[in-house]
Structure 1
Amino acid sequence: MAASEAEIPPGKSMTVEQTMLDKGAQMLQTLEPIKQMSQHVCTFALYSNDMHRHIETHHYVTRINQDFLQCAVYDSDDSHGRLIGVEYIISDRLFEGLNPEEQKLWHSHAYEIKSGLWVNPRVPEMVVKPELENLARTYGKFWCTWQTDRGDKLPMGPPALMMSPQAVNLGMVRPDLIKKRDDKYNISTDTLKVSRVEIGEPEWINPQADYWKQHQKCFVVDAEPVEMKKIVDPFP
């Protein structure tokens, strides 16, 4: 699918020489980390400092082990999809080992899974059901580095902390975004929600996660100049 002008970062078109170099590199290099991406997940996220802003996200997931996943997050699954951030996902066991201040940066996934918002496009539910049962007990930390939803043609400013949708007021995803996603993949979020009723929820979701729900406060990153640590000559 061709990218629209609004989706293309500023810059010159690829030269023939650059295209040939890239093709040659693909043949000679292993690109092993990328090959470990085993799942495509489509879901939604909200900016923690402005929860009126909802975005559709496409996670390309690498499972490092049973307790830890890392995701490259794009704004679409098309060939021109833009890399907009990264999310780390950990089990409840690892989450409980974090200090309380760190836990405030993470969100729970139980509602996102149970409500049918989290989907693996084109993969039958019966195939992904065991994975969904595991994910319902996980926590994620998602930093958005490129706010394409506001029209940024380049990654601008510091990263923004994102939150998972929840069943409360501003934490609910806009219906028009859900419909657009469902139409694209020919699915029904409402039907998925019904089919996931039996997925077990965590017995206890740590209240340090989803911090905004309890305190109506968010976390932002500001870039400010600071004094450099002096470099010591290693060979005086």
Structure 2
Amino acid sequence: MAATTTRSHGEQIPPGKAMTTEQHILDKGAQMLQSLKPIKQMNQHVCTFALYNHDMNRQIETHHYVTRLNQDFLQCAVYDSDHSTARLIGVEYIVSDRIFETLPKEEQKLWHSHAYEVKSGLWVNPRVPEMVVKNDLDNFAKTYGKFWCTWQIDRGDKLPVGPPSLMMSPQAVNLGMVKPELIQKRDDRYNISTDAIKRTRLEIAEPEWINPEADYWKQHGKCFEIHVEDVEMKKIAPFP
């Protein structure tokens, strides 16, 4: 059985040989003997969309597997699908508005708000009734996220190459809006209506305050990119 995603013409992504019987046996044995506690704390699957901070015309569907460490901090392993062969494409950290306000101003610029993502119905828990998640969405609309993409699958990368890219949450302005064809494709797959979900969320209150340092591109028309450069290795470096 192949352990990689396969395209219609047989090309495996990522490239590699199928797993051997011995490897399957080892994985099953380890699964029985090890606790895998961090993974078992992933209690939610959320499907939404993200935009590249440096090119918001590039938009992708994302699948977040959420671990809630406490009421103010969540961490998400982000995949390109909910299939067993899904590729891990990044990580998102989510904090409450209370925590966000304690961050330095320069740090806040790397984060995005979630109010529009929730209110517009883009952020959904597949196969979970809205009434079950409603109270949580009320709180989530006030949160902020920092999402680093480590595998740019939308440009055809077979492997996670290059530096990570900062991702942004959809917004109701210009290129910040998600392309309708992406939404329709997801709606068809999960047999949902994003428009209908949006209508059910009209009663979710808009946050009284969204820090203007978040969604920095929207306020200032600027973005952030990571570039790799050679530097002299230091045996002793100041910290931080």
TM-score for both structures, normalised by structure 1: 0.96
* Aligned ranges 1:1-236 → 2 under 5 Å: 3-4=6-7, 5=10, 8-230=13-235
> What is the count of residue pairs matched by the alignment?
232
Q: Is the 8 A contact 1:49 1:220 kept in 2?
A: yes
Q: Give the whole-Å Cα distance in 2 for the aligned partners of 1:44 and 1:33.
A: 25
CA RMSD in angstroms comes to: 1.4
Q: Which runs of 4+ in 1 moved over 4 A?
A: none
Q: Give the whole-Å Cα distance in 2 for the aligned partners of 1:114 and 1:230.
A: 50
Structure 1's unaligned 5+ residue stretches are none
SS for the counterpart of 2:42 is coil
2:129 alignment partner AA: P
1:196–1:92: structure 2 CA closer, same or farther, 3 Å change rule?
same
| CA offset digits 1:155-200 (Å, max 9, x no partner) | 0100000000000000000000000000101110001111100001
Q: Give the whole-Å Cα distance in 2 for the aligned partners of 1:155 and 1:93.
A: 34
2:103 alignment partner AA: L
1:6–1:96: structure 2 CA closer, same or farther, 3 Å change rule?
farther
Q: Give the whole-Å Cα distance in 2 for the aligned partners of 1:103 and 1:111.
A: 18
Structure 2's unaligned 5+ residue stretches are none
Percent identity for Structure 1 against Structure 2 = 77
TM-score for both structures, normalised by structure 2: 0.94
2:115 alignment partner AA: A
| CA offset digits 1:43-87 (Å, max 9, x no partner) | 000000000000000000000000000000000001111000000
**Cα drift, residue 19 of structure 1:** 1.2
Q: Give the whole-Å Cα distance in 2 for the aligned partners of 1:84 and 1:136.
A: 24
SS for the counterpart of 2:67 is strand
Q: Is the 8 A contact 2:183 2:194 kept in 1?
A: yes
